[in-house]
């Protein structure tokens, strides 16, 4: 049973389109995150949600809108896709609000590779 | 050997040798650190963590060393195996902030 699952795994789309990536965790964690990994493998936080509430928005364009219908789900919707949005997007979850007191840090999904053409 | 610049730093080691991967963290207020392993096509996976009140922590075949004076973290892998080939990240954390990841090092194990 996958702990943090993301769909789709691959997404190829044209510039200007709108797309969504879904994430679900079955760990009972309170906090979920979206990270973006660029072509140089650099991982950067985008958003953090705690119990369905937005906690962190790290200077991400307004075209990116996260939505958390419940604490087990955090979806990412992207409007008007641009070439620079091409990256791998990772969803993650942790047990406590941001601070990883549990000794295993964040649990990551396997990523969604977004390619904008 | 190592290469830096536009490409991800790479460490090549012979199977059976020990590996040492280094990381410089940025914030002196960070007090919790984690090493992650990312295999191709997968998300980062937890390896080992250390809190700032410790200098060293050992796991199974892995050891993390923390030098707060120079803000340096290292991951030592004993008897490196082909399955250890991956990209390794250090991550730092301080209270009420998300994990901040370092740049990553690719470990390549030569059989």
A47 at B interface, C-beta within 8 A: no
Chain mean pLDDT for chain B: 90
Other CB atoms within 10 Å distance of the CB of residue A19: 17
**Interchain proximity A105–B91, CB inside 8 Å:** yes
If you average pLDDT over residues A90-114, what whole number do you get?
79
**B93 contacts in chain A (CB < 8 Å):** 99-100
Based on the number of CB atoms within 10 Å of its own CB, is B56 exposed (0-12), middle (13-18) or buried (19 or more)?
Answer: exposed
Q: Is A35 helix (H, G, I), strand (E, B) or coil?
A: strand
**Interchain proximity A108–B44, CB inside 8 Å:** yes
From CA B56, how far away is CA B97, in angstroms rounded? 24
Beta bridge mates, A29: none
Chain mean pLDDT for chain A: 90
Give pLDDT, residue B4: 36
Give pLDDT, residue B96: 73
From CA A93, how far away is CA A24, in angstroms rounded? 9
């Amino acid at each position: 049973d996958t702990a943090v699952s993301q769909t789709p795994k691959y997404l190829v789309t044209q510039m200007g389109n709108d797309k969504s990536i879904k994430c679900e965790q079955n760990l009972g964690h309170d906090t979920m995150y979206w990270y973006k990994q660029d072509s140089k493998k650099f991982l950067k936080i985008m958003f953090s949600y705690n119990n369905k509430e937005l906690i962190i928005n790290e200077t991400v364009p307004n075209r990116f809108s996260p939505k958390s219908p419940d604490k087990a789900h955090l979806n990412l919707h992207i409007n008007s896709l641009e070439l620079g949005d091409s990256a791998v997007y990772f969803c993650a979850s942790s047990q406590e609000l941001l601070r990883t007191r549990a000794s295993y840090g964040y649990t990551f999904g396997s990523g969604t590779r977004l390619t904008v053409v | 050997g190592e290469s830096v610049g536009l490409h991800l730093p790479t460490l090549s080691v012979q199977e059976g040798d020990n590996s040492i991967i280094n990381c410089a963290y940025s914030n002196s207020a960070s007090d919790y650190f984690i090493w992650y392993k990312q295999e191709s096509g997968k998300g980062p996976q937890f390896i080992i963590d250390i809190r700032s009140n410790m200098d060293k922590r050992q796991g199974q075949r892995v050891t993390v060393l923390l030098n707060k004076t120079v803000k340096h973290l290292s991951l030592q892998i004993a008897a490196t195996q082909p399955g250890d080939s991956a990209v390794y990240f250090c991550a730092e954390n301080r209270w009420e902030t998300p994990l901040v990841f370092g740049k990553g090092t690719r470990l390549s194990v030569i059989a």
